Structure 1
Amino acid sequence: MAEILKGLFGGSKPAQTPLAAAPAGDDGFADFAGAPDPSPASIIASVSSVSPNAASSLPTSQPLISYTKWYRVWERTSISDFYNEMIIFPFIVAVVITYIWGTRKNRSKAKGWIQAHAPVLENEYASVGFGGRRSPEGAQGVGGEDYQVEDGVLKENGPTEFVTYATGRSNVAFLDIKLTLLKRYNPILLIGETVTGFFFDSMPATIERMEATAYAFDGQESKLVPASKDESRKSAGNSTYDGFVWAIVNKDMMAQLRQDRYDISLTTTKDHPKLPAWATVMSESSEVTDALLAPELIKAVNDCGDLLDALVITDQPVDRPKKLNETVPRKRITLSIRLPSSTSASAYKSSLPLFTYYLRLPDFLTSNARFRPEVTRRIRATREEEIRKIKKVDDDEKSEERKLQSDKEKKQKRDNLLKGLGSVEQKKFLEKEREKEQRRSQKKRTQKA
């Protein structure tokens, strides 16, 4: 300690140890030591050369790691580094497996439906499916598990929607068919829809069903069919029939259809003794019901059971018309049938007779759907009343537009007049205008009193 203080306060200088002499290079300068070796082996060697006392003073919270090449993952990682991935990976696998199973299940169900119904469609229509494929000559019989469906007959619009199309038949312009299936590929959405539909009637849960819509020619063959085929259409007979709204409805769907469809709201509901207890008739006239409720239809409805949602014959739009051009009759026949839980073609034996009768129903209408003038007059009166309501609303809207346009022109004329007046004249004009407004308001109060 004394020597240190002596050196600080002017004592004798401590002796300096000269640097070790380094061998001189060719240019006469000494070669100094290079940078230390950064390799892991040299670092470990330097650490091991430390004295035991100095090594004990090093921090011991982390063990010494021997760093290796970056691609040797197994040497620098452990199982504990992948705990999060190990938790997430099973969920990803479950989602993928569920999606694949759900989409395949829906495709299998759609394939089973088309296997059962394609022969009937090919027997009734010249072209079935997309791509212009012609139906085989003399197609007969009922489909089954062994029936081979060609490509293009059924189109997949999504995991839950399959569609097909048919054309080339007398009295029918074309037929659209849509299959709606459950969201089996996403159980969370499926459960959510089910729970929501249970608590809210306005958001019903998805029901697997087939919806078919046949658009009648109604005497418009010359506008819809090319000239080369028009003669064959004319030779088939008159395709017109009286317009009306008539339906056989499952009572579970009665309230929803009346609320969602404008055409059904024009009808009255009445049970029929020949129909099962779960079904009812919605018609604009009892005479229409007597003419359309044929024994074949009654038998087909009974065979189908409560899988039937609705069979609707209509000439009115589904949505309430707001313009006069929307009231033009467009005759259609729609059929909605719930799909059974099985995916096999044999599960549709009960509903196939009703579907077959539905395909031939346009022929029955062109032959039998012509009623007495009194019946058609009552049906036409309902439509004319709706047309009058639309005209009144349209006239009110036009009157309001004319009033707004007149007010706009008056305001523009007043503004132009004020711009051409001086400040004194503007003040007089505004005072006169205010007095006139006061007299008008006072007159209104007097009339009310």
Structure 2
Amino acid sequence: MASKALQSFILSFTPPPVVNPVEYDGLEFKWNMFVFRPALFKTELYLVGGVLFYALWSVINARINSSRAKSWLNAYLPLYEAQFSQPSLRGLTADGSSDYFNFSTGRRNIASLHTIFALCPRHDLLQWSYQIGKTFIDLYYRPTDEVQLDFTLAPGALSSEFVWAVVAKDELLNVKNDRWDLSFTKTTENATLGPTFMVMSEFADVTDNLLKPLGNVNLLALLQDPKVRPYFRSLSITDQPRERPSAPLAQSEREKHVILNLTLPSSSSGIEATKDLVSSLFVLIDNLNKINLRPETRNKLKKIREDLDHNLKVDALKEKKEEIEQDAQDKKAAKKKAEEDRIAKLPAAEQHKIMEKERKRAIRKSQTKSVVRK
């Protein structure tokens, strides 16, 4: 009976035998004892065709992504070469087929520049289809090709400590969700910038200083350029990390950044449109120490950061205390479990003695508690 059940179980996973029709008038290939009839392999043909289409789609769109990133970097490489002693270490580095990076260093006031390309995953048909489908459900979701220029400032390049940003209105929600440092700011409109931009600033004094000419650069005029607006996503200057730290940062770990986010253009004219903005950022960084904040503004900014460090320290100590308590509970539970396992292996008589001993101990404890209460 068991063998028949096993045989039936095995047969349920066995594919049915191939039955070749006796009469066949389709295309046929013969070679010695081998016969191949294509009409009998329609399903396999569709599967192979699907796999080939997916592979071809991946290869072509991976090359499209790579070409877009290389085109932008090649167009801006002369500017990088003029600004940095090491403008393109290791060239364009790929992380998969949708993320690319370039690292530049060797300039006064700038410790490094990370150029980061985040492109749509066109090479992955399923993921790309998911993103396209999501746009019909979530009206705020807009998958786009982006390039980010993250300037890490050298020590002393910016003496003031503040967080400030100007953001395209349709990018505001993404920025608020992705950037912890911008939670320090208040979001307001600015009449001089126009209705398409929002300013995120800790104090109006910071905004006033940044939107007036600094040295040879006029940030306000650059942002009002109609050629720049279609590609501009955000520009931020920050002394805080983009993710909330778990503890106060040591002085050596504190960095200041200027971060520019652009939509990656697909045409050469679009690539050229933002060159003035990008080249002017180098001049802006060289003049950041000319920002002259009012003493009361500096004091308020300093107080905010002192309070932040205090809160981070308190939270870190609380978290450490909870971890210690959890470790103690885990050790206690493990010790109890080990003792229960040891008792379970003893003879019944020994187990009975231990259980009786525990019962008497519990009675004494309850009697002691009753005496204390009286």
- Compare CA radii of gyration and give the structure with the larger one: 1
Corresponding residue SS for 2:318: helix
Residues 142-168 of structure 1: CA deviation (Å, up to 9, x unaligned): xxxxxxxxxx3x233322122111111
2:168 paired with 1:211:
no
Residue in structure 2 matched with residue 433 of structure 1 by the alignment? 365
Residues 114-148 of structure 1: CA deviation (Å, up to 9, x unaligned): 232111111111111124xxxxxxxxxxxxxxxxx
Corresponding residue SS for 2:150: strand
Residues 94/433 of structure 1: CA separation in 2 closer, same or farther (3 Å cut): same
Residue in structure 2 matched with residue 135 of structure 1 by the alignment? none
| CA positional deviation for 1:376 | 1.5
The correspondence of residues 225-374 of structure 1 with structure 2, limited to 5 A, is: 239-295=157-213, 296-303=218-225, 304-325=228-249, 329-342=254-267, 344=268, 346-365=269-288, 367-374=289-296
Distance 1:392 1:439 in 2: 41
| CA positional deviation for 1:298 | 1.4
| CA positional deviation for 1:196 | 2.7
Residues 282/432 of structure 1: CA separation in 2 closer, same or farther (3 Å cut): same
Residues 410/252 of structure 1: CA separation in 2 closer, same or farther (3 Å cut): closer
Residue in structure 2 matched with residue 121 of structure 1 by the alignment? 80
Code of the residue aligned with 2:73 in structure 1: it is I
Residue in structure 1 matched with residue 16 of structure 2 by the alignment? none
Aligned residues: percent identity? 26
Corresponding residue SS for 1:272: coil
Distance 2:204 2:53 in 1: 56
Residues 307/436 of structure 1: CA separation in 2 closer, same or farther (3 Å cut): farther
Which of residues 368, 379, 382 is equivalent to 2:304?
A: 382
Distance 1:410 1:96 in 2: 55
| CA positional deviation for 1:424 | 9.9
Residues 408/209 of structure 1: CA separation in 2 closer, same or farther (3 Å cut): closer
Residues 12-34 of structure 1: CA deviation (Å, up to 9, x unaligned): xxxxxxxxxxxxxxxxxxxxxxx
Q: Does the CA-based 8 Å contact 2:112-2:152 persist in structure 1? A: yes
2:134 paired with 1:196:
yes
Distance 1:396 1:388 in 2: 12
Residues 436/257 of structure 1: CA separation in 2 closer, same or farther (3 Å cut): farther
Indicate the RMSD between aligned Cα atoms, in angstroms. Answer: 3.5
Residues 426/95 of structure 1: CA separation in 2 closer, same or farther (3 Å cut): closer
Q: Does the CA-based 8 Å contact 2:205-2:294 persist in structure 1? A: no
Code of the residue aligned with 2:190 in structure 1: it is H
Residues 434/271 of structure 1: CA separation in 2 closer, same or farther (3 Å cut): same
Distance 1:247 1:81 in 2: 65
Distance 2:36 2:331 in 1: 82
Q: Does the CA-based 8 Å contact 1:249-1:281 persist in structure 2? A: yes
Residue in structure 2 matched with residue 84 of structure 1 by the alignment? 43
Code of the residue aligned with 2:316 in structure 1: it is D
| CA positional deviation for 1:315 | 0.8
Residues 164/272 of structure 1: CA separation in 2 closer, same or farther (3 Å cut): same
Residues 46-101 of structure 1: CA deviation (Å, up to 9, x unaligned): xxxxxxxxxxxxxxx958xxxxxx9537x633332333343334333422332232
Residue in structure 2 matched with residue 9 of structure 1 by the alignment? none
| CA positional deviation for 1:185 | 2.3
User: Which structure's residues are more often strand, by fraction?
Assistant: 2
Unpaired runs of 5+ in structure 1? 1-60, 64-69, 132-151, 220-238, 416-421, 444-449
Unpaired runs of 5+ in structure 2? 1-20, 24-29, 340-353
User: Could you tell me the TM-score, scaled by structure 1's length?
Assistant: 0.63
Residue in structure 1 matched with residue 11 of structure 2 by the alignment? none
Residues 237-270 of structure 1: CA deviation (Å, up to 9, x unaligned): xx34111101011111222222321110010112
Code of the residue aligned with 1:115 in structure 2: it is N
| Aligned residue pairs, count | 325
Distance 2:117 2:190 in 1: 30
Residues 434/211 of structure 1: CA separation in 2 closer, same or farther (3 Å cut): same
Corresponding residue SS for 2:311: helix
